[in-house]
Amino acid sequence: MFSFGVMASGGGSNFKALLEKVQDGSLRAKCSFLIVNNGDCGAVQIAKEFGVPTFHISGKTHPKQLEYEEALLGVLSNHPVDLLLLAGYMKKIPDSLIQALPERILNIHPALLPKYGGKGFWGMNVHRAVIENHEKQSGPTVHLVTSEIDKGRILAQTPVPVLEGDSPEELAARILQQEHRLYWKTVLDYAKTLKLIL
């Protein structure tokens, strides 16, 4: 059994998929907290349903960068975790957080990195660019988080075909289904590699 925290900004379907795998025993872990930078996002509702403590920490709640970073680190010191999982978190992770959890922060990205990663490539922007460039395939990547956006070591990917006439939304939905299958398995494998579980 190991523990993880999650950071999310949006609907939270990846967060929910992780919690369902904890609930059915496939992921032998405990989710200790959710951090959101948007108090109204769908992930907050999911945390309520699953009884996960939630913290809203953003530029609004903490306008000064130092206080913002201290608030994030404060959650970690009150709720120590083995892994921190970004699940649709749309804000850059401060270096202080990366240093506090070296090689322990994972992200899921909706394209086959190193393509379509980095500044500006998030959410629907990624799928729009993939379609505009007539790519034959796309798909999710799980990688470690470093100070360079989307550049950390790749842990796993799932190729997904881009179909003729796909809209960004259709492609996003097909990739999201694969994200839900990929993230928990990659987390489990990585936890085994780190010997957090057998």
Tokens for 170? 């259709």
User: Strand, coil or helix: what is 173?
Assistant: helix
Least distance (Å) from ligand GAR to the CB of residue 195? Answer: 28
Query: Which position among 62, 79, 109, 134 bears the catalytic label?
Result: 109
Token representation of residue 105: 């922060």
Burial category of 66 from C-beta neighbours within 10 Å (exposed 0-12, middle 13-18, buried 19 and up): exposed
Nearer to ligand GAR by Cβ, of 74 and 118: the residue is: 118
Give least dist CB 181 to ligand GAR, A.
13
Q: Is 189 helix (H, G, I), strand (E, B) or coil?
A: helix
Residue 74 beta carbon to ligand GAR: minimum distance, rounded to whole angstroms: 24
**Nearest CB to ligand GAR, comparing residues 70 and 95:** 95
Query: Looking at beta carbons only, is 78 or 133 nearer to ligand GAR?
Result: 133
Place of tokens 């990195």: 113
Coil, helix or strand for 20? helix
Q: From CA 30, how far away is CA 94, in angstroms rounded?
A: 24
79 catalytic per annotation: no
Tokens of 10: 């949006």
The residue nearest ligand GAR at its CB is 88
Closer of 36 and 72 to ligand GAR (Cβ)? 36
Binding residues (CB under 6 A) for ligand GAR: these are: 8, 10-14, 87-88, 108-110, 122-123, 176, 179
Shortest Å, Cβ 64 to ligand GAR: 25
| 20: Cβ contacts below 8 Å, ≥ 6 apart | none
